[in-house]
Each structure stands twice: as structure tokens, then as C-alpha cells.
């Protein structure tokens, strides 16, 4: 079963679509990286998936069940916003008390053990914590819900490199303990490569790329050859994702039959693959089940 699914999901503000025609599936047990440029619709998608926004069109399903505004549905999703909106004048102890009061299934014992492991004093006011500590408190509060799906919107954005590494390590250990499926957005792909195993790429409000890291790498190759290769690739049945050519050499990221691609190129790094798609917003690649569902809906 998929932890998160959307079908024809869209959100419009006035005449502007922040997200449009978004059909995706996040497999249970994965740690999914959500990436894309500013204004791509990442935060809108995450807020819709957390039940904090109502779709203009389409629907969201968590663990196969349509997400509603009912408390029992919202309890299945935990969300940490980019600005970690904790009460600055509360102590950490008071934050835990708030978590217990607003979430009937809150696991207070695990939350306290987690904060003790992070060496965060319970009597310290939130406003006096470091950026990394505030992120860990927000994460602890979210994990305390024991939700099936954990959504993190740019949790590392305001942290220095050392704090990012420490928070990511703590987050992955906590996720391993709870077994939650995670969707994590970030501008910094290198922060996600070693911890995530599934990728969603949003661009201009649409889903452009989806799949496991291994699946995506297997389906693409970087091909390099003489300048004449450029014309051949442009006329291929499946055009390249990105093509650059000089007077002497052509280089392209190609997709299609992995067996054919493997014989003529090398596997791209994940960052190379993402950048190639961002340079060509019209290109897309998704696993067969998502493609089949999209085509059925369009018919």
C-alpha cells in the first residue's frame, strides 16, 4: 500500500494555480525527497497532504483512505512547517504538555526520552534554544503523534551545515524507531542523497519526475559523442531530457529502455539528473503505475 497518494490534485489562488494535475504515489516505508525550485508548489503540496489546505480539485489519500478535515484523519499525518511555529515563551516541558493536550495518542514517554537523548533541557524556553534545538523539539512533537505519515517542509533551511547533519541523523534514527513514512522537502539535494530513497520533483506547479533513486538512475544515461550525435538525438523517438553541444562534442541525458541506454552511456549522478529536468520543464518521467493512472484519468 502507498502511504500517500494524490489524484488530479490542484490548488488555485484566484486565477493562479499553485499546483495542478498532480497525481503521485509515495510507497509506504520510504523516505521521500521533495525537490524543486522556488514557487514550484512544494509547500502547497505538503500543506494539502497534511490537511491544512483544501484542494481546488482532486483528492489526497493517506494509507488508502481519503483525507478529510476530520480529527481521526488528521491524526494520521504529522507536519513540521518550515518556520517551526513553536511558542517562544513556552518551556520545552510546556510544549510537551501542549502536544499531549492536542493529540490524544501522544507518546509522552518516547518524546521525553528523545529530548533527553538530544540533551535539550525541559525547563529551557523555546525562544532561548538554538535553531537546531528548535528543529529537534518540533520534530519530537510531530513524532509524538505516532502518525503513519510524517511531512517535513524545509526542516533544515535555517541551519548551518553541522546542525543540518546532526538534525538529519537524529531524524533518521527517530523515523527508524517509529516506522513512519517520511516526505521531506529541501532545496539542498546533497542533504537528502544519503538518507532518502524516493524522489518527487515539482516544477512550475506540476509533478515532473517521480521514482526511487535506483529506478531513476537505471532509467537514464549520460551519452557523450561527436557533434553529429546532437542531430541524431534530436530526431530520436524519445528526445533527450537535456542536450548540450559544441563544435566538436555533444552530451545529453537520455531516458528510455535502460538496456539500450546502458550500452551507450554512463549512469548520471542524482543531482545531474535533477538539474537536467529542471532545465527542461517540458520533460517528465514517472513509474508505470502513475503513468497508467494519469492516462486513464485523461481518457
C-alpha triplet 35, 78, 191: angle, nearest 5°:
30
Residue 289 has pLDDT above 70, yes or no: no
CB 149 within 8 A of CB 4: yes
Q: What is the mean pLDDT of residues 43-61?
A: 95
Provide the percentage of residues in the chain whose pLDDT is more than 70: 92
Residue 299 has pLDDT above 60, yes or no: no
Cell of 11: 490548488
CA distances from 178 to 34, 110, 142, 203 (A): 21, 10, 11, 31
Cell of 152: 517535513
pLDDT band at residue 92, thresholds of 50, 70 and 90?
very high
- Rounded CA-CA distance 199/183 in Å is 9
What pLDDT shows up at residue 263?
44
Residue 121 has pLDDT above 70, yes or no: yes
- Residue range(s) of every CATH 3.40.50.300 domain in the chain: 2-211
CB 112 within 8 A of CB 96: yes
Q: What is the mean pLDDT of residues 65-91?
A: 85
Highest mean pLDDT among 15-29, 188-202, 224-238, 258-272: 15-29
Mean pLDDT, the chain, integer: 87
Which CATH entry fits the domain spanning 2-211: 3.40.190.10, 3.20.20.10, 3.30.465.10, 3.40.50.300?
Answer: 3.40.50.300
Q: What is the mean pLDDT of residues 51-74?
A: 87
What pLDDT shows up at residue 298?
47
Determine which of 64-68, 119-123, 213-217, 271-275 has the lowest per-residue pLDDT on average. 64-68
Q: How do residues 194-235 score in pLDDT, each as one tens digit?
A: 889 999 999 999 999 999 999 999 999 999 889 888 888 888
Task: Provide the whole-model pTM.
Answer: 0.87
Residue 207's H or E segment, with its range, is: strand 206-212
Amino acid at each position: 500500500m502507498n502511504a500517500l497518494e494524490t489524484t488530479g490534485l490542484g490548488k488555485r489562488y484566484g486565477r493562479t494555480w499553485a499546483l495542478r494535475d498532480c497525481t503521485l504515489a509515495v510507497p509506504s516505508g520510504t523516505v521521500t525527497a521533495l525537490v524543486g525550485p522556488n514557487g514550484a508548489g512544494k509547500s502547497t503540496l505538503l500543506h494539502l497532504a497534511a490537511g491544512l489546505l483544501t484542494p481546488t480539485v482532486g483528492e489526497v489519500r493517506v494509507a488508502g483512505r481519503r483525507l478529510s478535515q476530520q480529527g481521526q484523519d488528521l491524526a494520521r499525518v504529522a507536519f513540521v512547517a518550515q518556520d517551526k511555529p513553536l511558542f517562544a515563551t513556552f518551556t520545552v516541558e510546556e510544549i510537551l504538555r501542549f502536544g499531549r493536550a492536542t493529540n490524544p495518542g501522544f507518546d509522552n514517554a518516547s518524546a521525553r526520552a528523545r529530548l533527553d537523548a538530544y540533551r535539550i533541557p525541559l525547563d529551557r524556553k523555546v525562544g532561548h534554544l538554538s535553531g537546531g534545538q528548535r528543529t529537534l523539539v518540533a520534530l519530537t512533537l510531530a513524532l509524538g503523534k505516532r502518525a503513519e505519515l510524517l511531512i517535513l517542509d524545509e526542516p533544515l533551511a535555517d541551519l548551518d551545515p553541522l546542525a543540518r547533519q546532526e538534525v538529519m541523523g537524529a531524524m533518521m534514527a527517530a523515523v527508524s524507531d517509529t516506522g513512519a513514512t517520511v516526505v521531506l522537502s529541501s532545496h539542498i539535494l546533497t542533504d537528502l542523497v544519503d538518507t532518502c530513497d524516493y524522489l518527487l520533483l515539482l516544477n512550475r506547479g506540476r509533478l515532473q519526475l517521480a521514482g526511487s533513486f535506483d529506478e531513476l538512475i537505471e532509467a537514464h544515461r549520460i551519452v557523450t559523442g561527436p557533434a553529429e550525435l546532437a542531430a541524431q538525438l534530436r530526431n530520436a523517438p524519445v528526445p533527450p531530457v537535456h542536450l548540450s553541444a559544441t563544435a566538436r562534442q555533444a552530451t545529453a541525458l537520455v531516458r528510455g529502455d535502460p538496456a539500450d541506454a546502458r550500452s551507450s552511456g554512463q549512469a548520471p549522478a542524482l543531482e545531474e539528473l535533477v538539474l537536467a529536468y529542471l532545465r527542461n520543464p517540458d520533460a517528465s518521467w514517472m513509474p508505470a503505475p502513475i503513468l497508467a493512472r494519469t492516462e486513464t484519468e485523461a481518457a
